[in-house]
Amino acid sequence: MDHFVYRDGALHAEDVPLAEVAAQVGTPFYCYSTATLTRHYQLFEEALHGLDHLVCFAMKANGNLAVIRTLAQLGAGMDVVSGGEYRKALAAGVPGERIVFSGVGKTRAEMRLALEGGIRQFNVESEPELAALSEVAAAMGVEAPVAIRVNPDIDAGTHDKIATGRKEDKFGIPIARAREVYAEAARLPGIRACGIDVHIGSQLTELAPFEAAYRRVAELTRTLRADGHAIDRLDLGGGLGIPYTASNEVPPLPAEYGALIKRTVGDLGCSVEIEPGRLIAGNAGVMVASVIYRKRGEGRDFLILDAAMNDLVRPALYDAWHDIVPLAEPAAGAARAPVDVVGPVCESGDTFARQRPLPMLESGEMVAFRSAGAYGAVMASEYNARPLVPEVMVHGDQFGVIRARPSFDEMLARDTLPQWL
């Protein structure tokens, strides 16, 4: 459920007509709903009720300061993957003890930054990283709390580019080598290995791969405890999928996911962290664009928008589907005809949808791409010298620009000429 619905013939974000935002901000832009973000976060809170837990929002899905602060005020922790995300989390008001640091390539500078500012744990993904963290922490005279990310060799059944738990993926250490690595961690100065971390992929639409992974983690917890390690926390990653279209199969609900967590690891007495990104932010955002032209091609029509692959890259990169709906509600039974929905960027990959049945839309009319709140604006670029897409947030009947569109002068000013020019 989200808060983007038609009211009086106009698509609203909560109580704000999106056309009103467009009139003020111009298109394209992203718009997020506070109520939807809040609701999705709370679904996870309810799902884990009764368990010592922390819901850490995966900031990579949507790193806007206003989004992070909204979630932080609800009590969310953050899962960060760079020094930049770590700084943003602190700037949004998230205390260090609610931040977990993931990622395969943390630099020593990033480790130092997090140890200085406070950190709940580092999710360590390799032995060289463990050794580097040990050196950095020991030199600072502190102990780094660590969960080792294990790779359970499980196929999450998702898109190849976002599956992370198979042995050929770059993530984690092979679970079969976990005992050795924990033994090494116990010997290293500056390291306190207190947890296990796992994340097998994104946009999972079945519970079975989670179940297989979490059972392996439970078994490993018992083994490591028998080896004398004080494992008292489990980071179970993110990855729960969302419905991108009503006709899709419906992914499991957070409540079912929570019940699975309790069933598989609930008896271990561990504190549990999860790192959802997409499920919290995905359906809490839309991208609004205007039609520039409707062009008749050979055997097909093209709807050319003012948004492009640089603003929303998911269709080009993962062949992802986003529902596209007009801002003005079509009359019941209005005729639909298939069109290719494309952007102005000079490559054929700049196609949002092929042969999508849509009502007749002409120049100047506006559409919204649904389910665009996760991995949308964060993945945007200025390709083709198109200014970075702005972001807006709605709260009831109010809205605010939470990232303004840069002016051309600002864009130009970021390039500098070397002395010989």
Contact 342, 315 (CB under 8 A): no
- Under the binding rule (CB under 6 A), the answer on residue 251 touching ligand LLP is no
Find the binder of ligand LLP among 237, 285, 343, 390 (CB under 6 A).
237
- Under the binding rule (CB under 6 A), the answer on residue 83 touching ligand LLP is no
Which whole-number Å values give the CA distances from 180 to 103, 126, 155, 183, 227, in the listed order?
Answer: 21, 12, 24, 5, 10
Give the count of beta carbons closer than 10 Å to the beta carbon of residue 126: 18
Q: Please give the structure tokens belonging to residue 70.
A: 């909204």
- Under the binding rule (CB under 6 A), the answer on residue 239 touching ligand LLP is yes
- Under the binding rule (CB under 6 A), the answer on residue 85 touching ligand LLP is no
Of 22, 57, 132, 66, residue with least CA distance to 365: 22
E strand map for 297-397: 301-305, 324-326, 336-342, 351-359, 366-369, 391-395
Residue pointed to by tokens 């718009």: 31
- Which CB atom, from 239 or from 254, has the smaller least distance to ligand LLP? 239
Find the binder of ligand LLP among 28, 77, 83, 238 (CB under 6 A).
238
Find the binder of ligand LLP among 125, 275, 323, 350 (CB under 6 A).
275
- Which CB atom, from 302 or from 318, has the smaller least distance to ligand LLP? 318
Minimum distance from residue 173 beta carbon to ligand LLP (Å): 14
- Under the binding rule (CB under 6 A), the answer on residue 80 touching ligand LLP is no
CB under 6 A: which stretch of 20-28, 195-203, 218-226, 354-362 binds ligand LLP? 195-203
Minimum distance from residue 251 beta carbon to ligand LLP (Å): 11
- Under the binding rule (CB under 6 A), the answer on residue 375 touching ligand LLP is yes
Could you give phi then psi for residue 310, rounded to 5 degrees?
Answer: -75, -20
User: CA angle, 395 as apex, 393 and 401 as ends, to 5°?
Assistant: 25
- Which CB atom, from 171 or from 399, has the smaller least distance to ligand LLP? 171
Q: Please give the structure tokens belonging to residue 217.
A: 């983690």
CB under 6 A: which stretch of 257-265, 269-277, 322-330, 342-350 binds ligand LLP? 269-277
Find the binder of ligand LLP among 3, 98, 278, 395 (CB under 6 A).
278
Q: Are strands 53-58 and 77-80 parallel, antiparallel or unpaired?
A: parallel
Find the binder of ligand LLP among 27, 33, 34, 102 (CB under 6 A).
102
- Which CB atom, from 21 or from 59, has the smaller least distance to ligand LLP? 59
- Which CB atom, from 165 or from 266, has the smaller least distance to ligand LLP? 165
What letter would DSSP give residue 390? P
Contact 227, 183 (CB under 8 A): yes
Torsion of the alpha carbons at 275, 279, 280 and 283, rounded to the nearest 10: 160
Minimum distance from residue 54 beta carbon to ligand LLP (Å): 13
Instruction: Give the separation between CA 388 and CA 405, rounded to whole angstroms.
Output: 6
Minimum distance from residue 23 beta carbon to ligand LLP (Å): 29
Could you give phi then psi for residue 212, rounded to 5 degrees?
Answer: -60, -45
Minimum distance from residue 319 beta carbon to ligand LLP (Å): 11
Contact 21, 31 (CB under 8 A): yes
Minimum distance from residue 32 beta carbon to ligand LLP (Å): 15
CB under 6 A: which stretch of 7-15, 28-36, 277-285, 405-413 binds ligand LLP? 277-285
- Which CB atom, from 190 or from 276, has the smaller least distance to ligand LLP? 276
DSSP letters of 77-129?
EEEE-SHHHHHHHHHTT--GGGEEE--TT--HHHHHHHHHH--SEEEE-SHHH
Q: Which of 56, 194, 270, 346 is catalytic?
A: 346
Minimum distance from residue 263 beta carbon to ligand LLP (Å): 20
Q: Please give the structure tokens belonging to residue 166.
A: 């198979």
- Which CB atom, from 102 or from 283, has the smaller least distance to ligand LLP? 102
Minimum distance from residue 408 beta carbon to ligand LLP (Å): 28
Bridge partner list, 358: 337
Q: Please give the structure tokens belonging to residue 67.
A: 């989004």
Q: Is 31 a catalytic residue?
A: no
Binding mask 310-339 for ligand LLP (x = CB under 6 A): ----x---x---------------------
Point out which residues bind ligand LLP (CB under 6 A): 58, 60-61, 79, 102, 162, 164, 199, 202-203, 237-240, 275-279, 314, 318, 374-375
Residues involved in catalysis: 346
